[in-house]
Amino acid sequence: MERFPAAPRLNYVRETLVCGVALRPDADWRFYAEVGCAVWVDGGSEPWEFQFGSGLVLVQFACGAFSRFTR
């Protein structure tokens, strides 16, 4: 805004209620999904939001490696 004062300001607002579930078929894997419905949107925000993914945790001793895929 300071570099380009003539640029239009985009007031991106999103107030959302989110519901999610997770499934752990064993101790190492987790699959999850979330859906969000916006009760107030402005500035180009969409009213619905979907997210899903999976995670792998390999725990040995007191630490472990974690990886996640989200779409």
Q: What is the pLDDT of residue 36?
A: 92
Total structural domains in the chain? 1
Spell out the per-residue pLDDT of the chain, length 71, in tens. 678 888 887 788 889 999 999 998 987 888 889 999 999 888 888 899 999 888 887 765 555 555 566 55
Beta bridge partners of 30: 55
Q: What is the pLDDT of residue 68?
A: 64
Q: What is the pLDDT of residue 40?
A: 87
Q: 29 lies in which domain range? A: 13-70
Please answer whether residues 58 and 68 qualify as being in contact, where contact means their C-beta atoms are separated by less than 8 angstroms. Answer: no
Query: Which of 56, 42, 48, 52 lies closest to 20 in space, CA to CA?
Result: 52
Q: Name the pairing type of β-strands 48-60 and 63-70.
A: antiparallel
Residue 24 lies in a domain: yes
Quote the CA–CA distance of 58 and 39 in Å, as a whole number: 38
Residue 32 lies in a domain: yes
Residue 21 lies in a domain: yes
Residue 4 lies in a domain: no
Residue 5 lies in a domain: no
Please answer whether residues 49 and 19 qualify as being in contact, where contact means their C-beta atoms are separated by less than 8 angstroms. Answer: no
